[in-house]
Structure 1
Amino acid sequence: MLGGKHGVSAITVIAIALSTTAAAVDGKTATAQLDRTVAANTGLALGFVENKGQTNARVRYYAQGDRYAFFATRDRLVLSFAKRQNARGLTLALRFLGRDPASAPQGADRQPGTVNYLRGAGPARWQTSLRHYGAVVYRGLWPRIDLRLHQAGGALKYEFRVRPGARPSDIRLAYAGARRLAMDAAGNLLIESPVGTLRDSHPVSHQDVAGVRVPVASRYLLSGNRFGFAVGRYRHDRDLIIDPGIEYTTFIGGSSDEIGNGIAVDGNGNAYVTGTTQSPDFPTTVGAFSRTGAAGNNPDVFVSKLNPTGTALVYSTFIGGSGFDFGRRIAIDAGGNAYITGQTTSANFPTTANAFSRRLHIPPNCPRCVNADNYDGFVAKLNASGSGLAYSTYLGGTDIDSPRGVAVDGAGNAYVTGETVSVDFPTTAGAFSRTEHGAYDMFVTKVNATGSALAYSTYLGGAQVDNGERVAVDSGGNAYVLGFTSSLDFPTTPGAFDTTANGDFDVSVTKLNPAGSALVYSTYLGGQGSDSGGGLAIDAAGNAYVSGGAGSLDFPTTPGAFDTTSDGNDAFVTKLNPVGSAAVYSTLVGGTGGDGASGVVVDSAGNAWLTGVTSSGDFPMSADAADGSFNGVADAFISELNSAGSAVVYSTYLGGAQSDSGTDIARDSVGNVYITGRTFSMDFPATTGAFDTVWNGDPLIFWGDAFVTKLALGRTTSTPPAPPPVPSAPVLVSPPNGDTPPQPITFDWNNVAGAASYTIQIDDSSAFTAPLEREATVTDSMYATTDLSTATHFWRVRGVNSAGVAGPWSAVRSFTPQAAPPPAVLSTMDINPATVVGGNNSSGTVVLSTPAPANGAVVTLSSSNPAVASVPATVTVPPVGFTGSFTITTSPVSANVTVVITASYNGTTRTGTLTVTPPGAPPPPATIQSVSVSPAAVTGGSTAQGAVTLSGAAPQAGATVSLSSSNAGAATVPASVTIPSGASTATFAVSTSAVATSTPVTISATYNGATATTSLTVDPAPPPPQTATLTVTATGRAGERVTSSPAGISVATGSSGSASFATGTSVTLSVSNGRDAIWSGACSSNGSKTTTCTFTLSAAASVTANVQ
């Protein structure tokens, strides 16, 4: 796939986000609670901490929160989500299949400071001065492939670096603990677990070539519980990036009503949001300018700064007085200062000394005011820490003044536009117009860098209604103003695109010179209906990009534009040339419902990104949309138009079941897009680990929440790679040739492209003559058995494509199984919760001592009182599985009723007690609910961990649970374990001794008159692995050396060397300096020159390398 030994040193990077959102599959409570558990943690400040004895010895690094943790071991990444309330916990392991055993995780991006764990009696048991890292890297996890892990708030991100000469197809992963893997219509990987579905974002690929993002196709490849990646054609002399779509979505709000109106982003990816809140409990931060909102649900301005991962607030503050205050737009300067504009009725709105105006301009009992709710404008500059106002000033006259847009130039001057009814709105000498013209006029005001004076201020309008919506400023200090007007005499300039009014309301676009004294250009934009402007952006060449809502059937469009047919209710995007004389392009964007674009930004390629609101189920979507389906009454959207305005490059819905809208959009320097808006949807798609994942509004009184979404986008536009018509021969992985594995045995082989299923044959003859001892068809590249005889067996595998065509057989391997373990019996039965109010459900889980047989284990269930608590007749543990779950359905009761649930299998019986209570009844005294041991089977001489669980909380003095073992010669436990007051669980150690044969042991726990038992199997130690000697002779070109992977062979030309390896090891031989060799012997190149030679060592062997 990559260049050869003389090719360019290309590096391929595959980056995937594991967004562990436990989305409800069937709406059950446990699933939703797991989602809240993960989402409640907003990031891990310590990153990945090195393990020096504070956790399991297999763990090298771990990152841990209150309710979840990630553990990096040599061969897998363990993801653990703890229980919360009645929710079940979950542990998954992301296994690295076919990995290089020599690869080990290493800390990267060392973080400042150290971590101390002071646990245990005395310093001897403490771990101090531990280093912690921002990332963990596995170098050479597969040949020439590295893996890098890092966090982005509750979400784990992993990227693969594929170096020249490596094959992306070598990346093979499997989720242990998942029920199954699937892909949704958007290409996301769905990981179905016992408590819900987790999601890996779909891979979206691109390359950066000469500053331009070039799309590359990619997708997941699935085979059972395994997966990898397929990548389309791309340039091998450039990096390839495969990354996820929506990086985060978070709510911002309190218990009342919010709307996000304005958003900006700095060079570090921090998002700044302003809007309006009526919530006294709106989230604020320590040290912020104001943490107290107005009383009585009066609206206040809010300003919040989110960190780059959307997991926490950098700062968040109110700005306002005792009246009504509204935040409209926000801009930021290079120093991170935020400029906010909006409206206020507060006489005590915070202002600063020497500000331009510190007095509210609304006179009492104003006889000529339009209405009693008169507004003044304001402009405020918030310092970079959000702790204080650099300046704050009123802006207005004695009537309605409503600032709508703000921009800032490189010198810190703020440009503000909006509408005013005030005849005494402050203007400056020499300004373009100092006289109000009609009912409502636009205004354009430039506030100096200290907020102490107006650099210029002018009216802009005609005899009717004129409203300024957006303002932007270019590097020369020219101000661009977007608005809409009903004035027939709105000021335009000769040669402008359109100098004549068209309909009820037209969009207006005006460019003012740096002094604010004259119009560079000014134009109408619209048709015969009502059209409105919403978004404005300027590119480096001075082209103006305008978005909004087109209510006119004849809204002006250009030939070749994406959509030139209006239904009178579409969004639009128009690009005006730098002199305002013509539309470079003008297009509609929409479906058959109502659509409008409230914000637009432009990227370095000239592509326009817009957001807004749509009620169209057929709004144009791209194939790689994060959400390609319309969700509810109205959705927000994010869309990208190409530089010609002729095509939609990317487009996605964003919303839930109710009304949602995007109000503003921003873009950072690396191409991420940010939007804010308002949502009334409780199911609006917040991402796991985001700052706030719970909607805070009220659907009954139409209170909504503000939201912020960050879209990190690569694009897929090339044709996805097609699977080959016939699968190649699989490469067998485990068990290795000549192995003597214990049972159950898991047969493992490499995933083969194009294989829809696999056929595995197992027989006592290498000729595989009928009848075979075992033949099976599986969709996974793994197969498990539990009951083979101890004779020598042989196995092979072949792939079958979706048309039913079989590929060639793999190589044949032999193995001799150890004696099968004792038949599975019931180990424990757990009921959770153990106390429920009648009419609510509980859950039961049965656990086997050893894996279920190949056809599964059918466990019989019964209830001592089916009228109160009923169970299904049976529950089935899947093949080679350990657990099976079932639902316990209860009925309302008038008094506490205790029901015994009984489970029976293979001659063993386990019981559990469920207490059904009437509403409001006090909980019954706690009894023993269950005892468990993990793992359920261990090798003699090792330890296991036991756990006891009560049906309720332990009393104030604690609960002492008695423990016993049925065979102290094989396994011993302490006499008792104490569960602390208020807790319901405690753990204890189980010590085992060496045994000659598999020995079952029953562990019993007794408390408060009740006893629970579980089973532990103590196995004999396996025989040592077989080894074989490999001898390598190097001839030919002097001064070269032949080495092996795994390490062991290092032979100079003209000499021989030997090393021992475990039989079944895949050995790769290579020549130093990347030179070719002709290989012969056990590993042969058949006379050809190759840089490496790979084979499986099954017995003593010799290889000769003739170095060229």
Structure 2
Amino acid sequence: MRIISYIIFSLIMASTLEAQTVSDLQLNHDYFIENRGQITDQHGLVNSNVKFIYADELFNLQLKPMGFSYELFEVRREETSYESGQAMSSSYNLENVSHPEQQLRSHRIDVNFIGANPSVEIFAKNSSRTYFNYYTSEASDVTLVPGYHQILYKNIYPGIDVVFSAKGGDSVKYEWMVHPGADPSKIKLQYSGATAIVELENGGYQIITPNGRIDESKLIAFTADTHLPVEARYQFEDNLISYKMKRNNSKTIVIDPNIVWSTYYGGNLDEDINNGQLAIDGQGKSIIAGSTNSTLNIASTGAFQTNYGGGYHDAFLAKFTANGKLDWATYYGGDEKDEGHALVTDASNNIILGGLTTSHSGMSTSGSHQFAFAGQQDAFVAKFNSSGVRIWATYFGGTYQDEILDLDCDALGNIYYTGYTISPDKISTPGAYQESLNNSGGTYGDAFLGEFTPAGSLVWGSYLSGPLQDRAHGIAIGEKGELFIQGTCESTTDFASTTGVYQSIYGGGGTDAFLAKWDTNGAFIWCSYFGGPTEDHGRGVRVDAAGNAYIMGWTDSESAIATPGAVQQFWAEDYEINGDRKADGFLAKFNKNGGIVWSTYYGGHGKEQIFGLALDEQNGLLYAGGYSTSMDNISTPGSYQEIYSGNSDGFITKFNLSGDRIWGSYLNGPNIEEVHGLALYPNGYLSIFLSTEGG
């Protein structure tokens, strides 16, 4: 089974396995709530061992005298008429599905303070103005329970305190305060309930659980008064973690574990994100889109479409809070094949989803640009508000096959799209740059692009192609109204390439990548091939404020890709058993006039493909991600994961805008991982959208 693993680099905790009813879930708040008898165990008995509890949607942190517990809940729907993992037949009737019973699955990890002070003093600090009342059938009413922003364990070890903090809008965290003369090696944390604890090359460690993993990065320590860094590292002994650092007889040292979490999103069958996407809205919330044939654990209660529509695939759309918890999720599909390939948010945090469909109904709204299904396969565009309510939706396509592969929005909310079609009708508008399909005998298709208003009216549309098959995979709009299209073409002549650009002549082989510039009124400006003597594939584009375009993809051409002085100037030669050439990734920067600024291969003696690209112009950074089967040329010393796992590994790399690599890292586990999308939070944190097989 392929499961989506959605990873955000942020501060949070996570998680062994037991079932509880939905009523067991604590209320969401920004405080540690004192236990005055309202907290019970799985048998309904008062759990006096828990002194305080922090709850954030589906996450609990329980504070106990001699340790703490992470608890992560997942709402599951238990079906009786369809077994999880059973193959779905074409005759499967969704009307026969019984209403599921909702339960919470709780994965918990207990962390015990070994050798700690059994008479530790626990102080609650920074009380809230809010009080909580609990009325339960299991215990007497508990009223006027206070909440606190900070819990202090005083002298949990000799001269050492630990402080748990919870502030509105931030994740819960803990810090160790090692006072002058105290011995930090006394701190010992024993983990129970984890599948494994794995020491990482970068000095951090991973806590593997049945519900994902917790990553703790290289240990951070500093002086409390001046914040000067102090050398510190973890020590590992089976499931016991301690800290290695020198005593300081004159200053208090703060040890600040930096916790990185990851979570899975997926159902009982398969989720496909090979053409899915990731976006971050203006509130720092993450949205993902893709395709699924899972009938369980995809849509949230009250979503636009809570049931699988049928057929081969439904598109799905899922939104996560800034802390990575599921906000809402919905199917989007009819009774045939529906796939989500394109995703963007606008300035009002509305969400626009694009893709393909063969469903004859359910994909459009009354009064939309194209209400009726037109052919073998249509593209679609659907606009949702930030709460997941559909605003409008339309089919887009003609007689044959059409699909939208990427979307972007300008500051006014106008929507720009691109993709692929073999339909000779319903694609272009009168007066467009290319009004007619360049289709040789009905065999090949064309790239296309166009614009919708925020209300869903078509403004303009155009084909973009030569006589053979040409596909557009990426679109990006700049601050000055420049529109860039990037993709893959087979047309060796009569394509839109222009003089004066980097490459006006087809490079050779089966395919070249291409980059084309338009304006937002649909006027064509220039186009350049990008390719060498064999095969080159383009997969996406980003644009900066100066109008420079950054492109990504993969190539097995041994020349005409990298510029002099590039990070990797040569193709890392390698071949499949059948003699096929193994591709390397590529990254390139074009200026606003179509000239090349820099370009580089990225890959080792295996196979690489790059699918994700994120531009951090404020900090002058470019991130790229994809997958690799190479043991070399991917990671850098001291990176998050330096070592190739032996399967297909995800990877990410960080460049400056001058084309210099800053670092590279694998993202691997025991299965096959592939990075399919990257996006940046407003604070510069990187969000990574990847798939993993097997769980």
Query: TM-score interval w.r.t. the shorter chain?
Result: 0.7 to 0.9
2:519 aligns with 513
Aligned-residue offset at 1:115: 3.8
In the TM superposition, what are the counterparts of 1:165-176 in structure 2 within 5 Å? 173-175=187-189
Letter in 2 for 1:288: A
Distance 1:631 1:152 in 2: 39
Aligned-residue offset at 1:243: 6.2
The answer to whether 1:486 aligns with 2:496 is: no
1:93 aligns with 112
Contact 1:68 1:79 in 2 (8 A): no
Distance 1:178 1:676 in 2: 29
Q: Please, which of 468, 477, 480 is the counterpart of residue 473 of structure 1?
A: 477
- C-alpha RMSD over aligned residues: 4.4
Contact 1:189 1:220 in 2 (8 A): no
Q: Secondary structure at 2:619's aligned position in 1?
A: coil
2:536 aligns with 531
2:86 aligns with none
Contact 1:107 1:135 in 2 (8 A): yes
CA-to-aligned-CA distance 1:885-910 (integer Å, 9 cap, x gap): xxxxxxxxxxxxxxxxxxxxxxxxxx
Measured at CA, do residues 219 and 588 of structure 1 come closer, stay the same or move farther in structure 2, by a change above 3 Å?
farther
The answer to whether 1:455 aligns with 2:445 is: no
2:555 aligns with 550
Distance 2:286 2:58 in 1: 27
Distance 2:455 2:406 in 1: 19
Contact 2:120 2:154 in 1 (8 A): no
Give the gaps of 5 or more residues in structure 2: 1-9, 39-45, 73-105, 223-227, 574-581
Distance 1:553 1:653 in 2: 27
Distance 1:460 1:205 in 2: 52
CA-to-aligned-CA distance 1:29-53 (integer Å, 9 cap, x gap): xxxxx36779x99997356312335
Letter in 1 for 2:435: R
Contact 1:17 1:201 in 2 (8 A): no
The answer to whether 1:344 aligns with 2:357 is: yes
In the TM superposition, what are the counterparts of 1:188-587 in structure 2 within 5 Å? 188-189=204-205, 201-203=216-218, 219-222=232-235, 227-228=242-243, 244=258, 246-259=260-273, 261-295=276-310, 297-311=311-325, 313-362=326-375, 374-387=376-389, 389-438=390-439, 439-451=444-456, 453-488=457-492, 489-503=494-508, 504-519=510-525, 521-566=526-571, 567=573, 569-583=583-597, 585-587=598-600
Q: Secondary structure at 1:128's aligned position in 2?
A: strand
Query: 413-422 vs 216-225, which deviates more?
Result: 216-225
Q: Give 1 or 2 for the bigger CA radius of gyration.
A: 1
Q: Please, which of 623, 639, 648 is the counterpart of residue 653 of structure 2?
A: 639
Measured at CA, do residues 294 and 433 of structure 1 come closer, stay the same or move farther in structure 2, by a change above 3 Å?
same
TM-score (norm 2): 0.76
Distance 2:130 2:397 in 1: 49
Aligned-residue offset at 1:426: 2.8
Query: 220-229 vs 427-436, which deviates more?
Result: 220-229
1:62 aligns with 53
Letter in 1 for 2:387: S
Contact 2:204 2:234 in 1 (8 A): no
CA-to-aligned-CA distance 1:726-782 (integer Å, 9 cap, x gap): xxxxxxxxxxxxxxxxxxxxxxxxxxxxxxxxxxxxxxxxxxxxxxxxxxxxxxxxx
Q: Secondary structure at 2:451's aligned position in 1?
A: strand
Contact 1:632 1:655 in 2 (8 A): no
Contact 1:105 1:137 in 2 (8 A): yes
Aligned-residue offset at 1:550: 1.1
Aligned-residue offset at 1:120: 7.2
Distance 2:431 2:133 in 1: 64
The answer to whether 1:51 aligns with 2:35 is: yes
Letter in 2 for 1:357: Q
Contact 1:111 1:133 in 2 (8 A): no
Distance 1:161 1:535 in 2: 47
1:725 aligns with none
Measured at CA, do residues 146 and 502 of structure 1 come closer, stay the same or move farther in structure 2, by a change above 3 Å?
same
Contact 1:284 1:291 in 2 (8 A): yes
Aligned-residue offset at 1:343: 0.9
Aligned-residue offset at 1:675: 2.8
Aligned-residue offset at 1:166: 8.0
Letter in 1 for 2:290: G
Q: Secondary structure at 1:104's aligned position in 2?
A: strand
Distance 1:299 1:198 in 2: 29
Aligned-residue offset at 1:91: 4.9
Q: Secondary structure at 1:250's aligned position in 2?
A: strand
Measured at CA, do residues 170 and 267 of structure 1 come closer, stay the same or move farther in structure 2, by a change above 3 Å?
farther
Letter in 1 for 2:371: R
Aligned-residue offset at 1:539: 2.1
Distance 2:243 2:554 in 1: 44
Q: Secondary structure at 2:112's aligned position in 1?
A: strand
Q: Secondary structure at 2:605's aligned position in 1?
A: coil
2:163 aligns with 147
CA-to-aligned-CA distance 1:691-711 (integer Å, 9 cap, x gap): xxxx3xxxxxxxxxxxxxxxx
In the TM superposition, what are the counterparts of 1:881-960 in structure 2 within 5 Å? none
Percent identity over the alignment is 24
Number of residues of Structure 1 aligned to a counterpart in Structure 2: 609
Give the gaps of 5 or more residues in structure 1: 1-14, 21-33, 208-214, 363-373, 683-694, 696-1108
In the TM superposition, what are the counterparts of 1:594-633 in structure 2 within 5 Å? 594-603=607-616, 604-618=618-632, 620-633=634-647
Aligned-residue offset at 1:129: 2.8
Distance 2:592 2:257 in 1: 36
